[in-house]
Amino acid sequence: MSRTPRQPVWPIYRRLLGYTARYRVFLGAALLGMLVEAGAGATFIWLMEPLTNRGFVQPEPQMAVLLPLAIIGLFVLRSLATFVTDYGMARTGRSVVRDLREEVLSKYLRLPSSQFDTEATPVMVSRLNFDTEQVTQASSEALKTLITDSLTIVYLLGLMLYMSVKVTLAMLLITPLIGLIVWYVGKRYRRISGGIQDGMGRMAASAEQSLSAQQDVKIHGAQELEISRYSGLANRILGLNMKVESTRAAASGLVQLLAALALSLIVAVATREALAGRLNAGQFISLMTAMMGIIPSLRRVTSVQTAVSRGVAAAERLFSILDAEEEVDDGTRPLQRARGELAFEHVSLRYRDQPGFALDDVSFVATPGTVTAIVGRSGSGKTSLVRLVPRFYEPSAGRILLDGVPLDEYRMSDLRRQIALVGQKVMLFDDTVAANIAYGSDADHAAIRAAAEAANAWEFIERLPQGLDTPIGENGALLSGGQRQRLAIARAILRDAPILILDEATAALDNESERLVQDALQRLMPERTTLVIAHRLSTIEHADQVLVLDQGRIVERGTHAELLAAGGLYAHLHSAQFRERQA
């Protein structure tokens, strides 16, 4: 995600608070609780005056009963208030995290594919998990400390002013200095913590990469390389963390020192006031207790600033995702079921930040009931071509028509419903076999079974411990490559869409399975438009037209027999493969 320049904190915080609006009952209760909590604390300190003067200096008998009762009452009230505050804040904060997570994930799924080329998936996942978590801390825990402690400070200052203006003023001399430190720490923190989170994402991405490719790492003996890449990132984070910690530690030490200075100033002024008869023992004890009560609150307020900043930095990143541009979907034409006539007109494609064209002036027509085979060397643009049909990417030039209408005039969801796609990388979900075949539809077991049989997948599904209801593990870890492909084909068959796209869909199958799947596809093909990318001859031989791609251009076209006779690139590729087969 491209980072927007740092925005001022307040608008971000306000937007974040906007998310709490739905939970304002809980938030309101929590705020009330904080008011009472801080008030009860201050009242207890105010009690120090009568406790000293009327309990000890000039003892009164009824105070021996009244004061203990007052203390119990105060703390019962305070405990209740604390519970209400904590519950209300947790409820609000946790709900906001959930809302943000849902919103960000659904936003991610609406971003254009090109976004996924520039941001690694683990970084996205860390945004979902980590950034949202940080946001709660800002929106609940930090807010709670901020409000309760600020209130405590205000109450206690009021109490002190009431006891003695002079002594209090002496202390106030020092507060602006503390404020200055708080401000500086917050600013620095916000800057560094952004770097930390980015680094964490990159570190996770690097670890995920080396762990998921552990076999490649081992066979290349690249452990050292992977470790050094990872430790480079880890060291950078260590450095940043130490910067944050040292700033925080230095600041909190300094704040305490200043508070102690204030204390000694108070003592000096207070003793002079006492000599002049303007301050009695009870008032002094009260003042001192208030002063002591303020120090931890002040310290918490300074450290909470960092949590707030961290939350705001995280919120800023989340908002930049939420504000990112989505896939363009401004077509209005509804489409129930297309006939399936697909026409490419001078289509070119250039990936973002890529110098050359992946597709260059590609034109062809694929009519319903026919099979168009696309062949070419690796990297010639085959996958790029078929990706344009569901509008995963937009052509840089030219246009693509479905039933004579440009693709972008259709509603995106309608268009994509017309397409069944078996990609080069088979994606399976951590669910049962049946759920993977039915994915996104509510087909019954009979239909699922029929699709599985057509895809020649039934023979292995049958042998699984729980048949269709067997869980297949994360991304189908428990299945072989060919089994995964057959599941994907079954999914496409079940979808029964007018356009069928197969990108190397049978590459991982043995000849026998491939022939069976081929038969099934053959039966499906008459009613639909099929684009198939394949190296296998059996698929291509039956195709109605073969397009030969080279460096993004269609260099030859015709039927298998015509192309063989022409003796060009196709004939060359074919003879190379034929020799391979013989070997």
Ligand X SMILES: Nc1ncnc2c1ncn2[C@@H]1O[C@H](COP(=O)(O)OP(=O)(O)OP(=O)(O)O)[C@@H](O)[C@H]1O
Q: What residues make contact with Mg ion under the rule CB under 5 A?
A: 383, 424
| Residues 67-96 close enough to bind ligand X by CB under 6 A | none
Residues 305 and 313: their CA atoms lie apart, in Å, by 12
Residues 543 and 530: their CA atoms lie apart, in Å, by 9
| Cβ closest to ligand X, residue 119 vs residue 431 | 119
| Residues 130-169 close enough to bind ligand X by CB under 6 A | none
Residue nearest to Mg ion (CB): 383
Q: Which residues contact 61 (CB under 8 A, 6 or more apart)?
A: none
Pair 476, 484: CB distance under 8 Å: yes
Least separation in angstroms between CB 488 and ligand X = 16
Q: Which of 231, 413, 424, 441 binds ligand X (CB under 6 A)?
A: 424
| Cβ closest to ligand X, residue 214 vs residue 354 | 354
Residues 467 and 276: their CA atoms lie apart, in Å, by 94
Least separation in angstroms between CB 328 and Mg ion = 25
Chain centroid, CA 446 distance in Å:
37
Residue type, 561: A
Q: Which stretch binds ligand X (CB under 6 A): 20-28, 81-89, 378-386, 493-501?
A: 378-386
Helix H or strand E segment including 52: helix 48-52
User: Binding string to ligand X for residues 104 to 133, with x set by CB under 6 A, is what?
Assistant: -------------x----------------
Least separation in angstroms between CB 118 and ligand X = 9
- Among ligand X, Mg ion, none, the one that 354 touches (CB under a kind-dependent 5 to 8 A) is ligand X
Least separation in angstroms between CB 184 and ligand X = 44
| Cβ closest to ligand X, residue 426 vs residue 452 | 426
| Cβ closest to ligand X, residue 79 vs residue 363 | 363
Tokens 């904060």 found at:
93
Residues 352 and 392: their CA atoms lie apart, in Å, by 13
Least separation in angstroms between CB 203 and Mg ion = 31
Q: Which stretch binds ligand X (CB under 6 A): 204-212, 371-379, 492-500, 573-581?
A: 371-379
- Among Mg ion, ligand X, none, the one that 286 touches (CB under a kind-dependent 5 to 8 A) is none
569 binds ligand X (CB under 6 A): no
Q: Which stretch binds ligand X (CB under 6 A): 57-65, 299-307, 372-380, 405-413?
A: 372-380
Residues 447 and 499: their CA atoms lie apart, in Å, by 20
Work out the number of other CB atoms within 10 angstroms of the CB of residue 538: 12
Tokens 């319903």 found at:
368
Residues 488 and 501: their CA atoms lie apart, in Å, by 12
Structure tokens at 32: 């009330």
| Residues 307-366 close enough to bind ligand X by CB under 6 A | 351, 354, 358
| Residues 383-422 close enough to bind ligand X by CB under 6 A | 383-384
Least separation in angstroms between CB 350 and ligand X = 9
Residues 280 and 56: their CA atoms lie apart, in Å, by 13
- Among ligand X, Mg ion, none, the one that 380 touches (CB under a kind-dependent 5 to 8 A) is ligand X
| Cβ closest to Mg ion, residue 336 vs residue 378 | 378
- Among Mg ion, ligand X, none, the one that 231 touches (CB under a kind-dependent 5 to 8 A) is none
Largest CA distance in the chain: 120
Pair 327, 412: CB distance under 8 Å: yes
CA 363, 368, 370, 374: dihedral to nearest 10 degrees? 40
Q: Report the candidate in 184, 186, 175, 185 with the shortest Cα–Cα distance to residue 150.
A: 175
Pair 73, 67: CB distance under 8 Å: no
| Cβ closest to Mg ion, residue 280 vs residue 348 | 348
| Cβ closest to ligand X, residue 130 vs residue 351 | 351
- Among Mg ion, ligand X, none, the one that 384 touches (CB under a kind-dependent 5 to 8 A) is ligand X
Collapsing DSSP states into helix, strand and coil, what is residue 273? helix
Burial class (CB in 10 A: 0-12, 13-18, 19+), 413: exposed
Q: Which stretch binds ligand X (CB under 6 A): 28-36, 48-56, 306-314, 381-389?
A: 381-389
Q: Which positions lie near ligand X, rule CB under 6 A?
A: 117, 351, 354, 358, 376, 378-384, 424
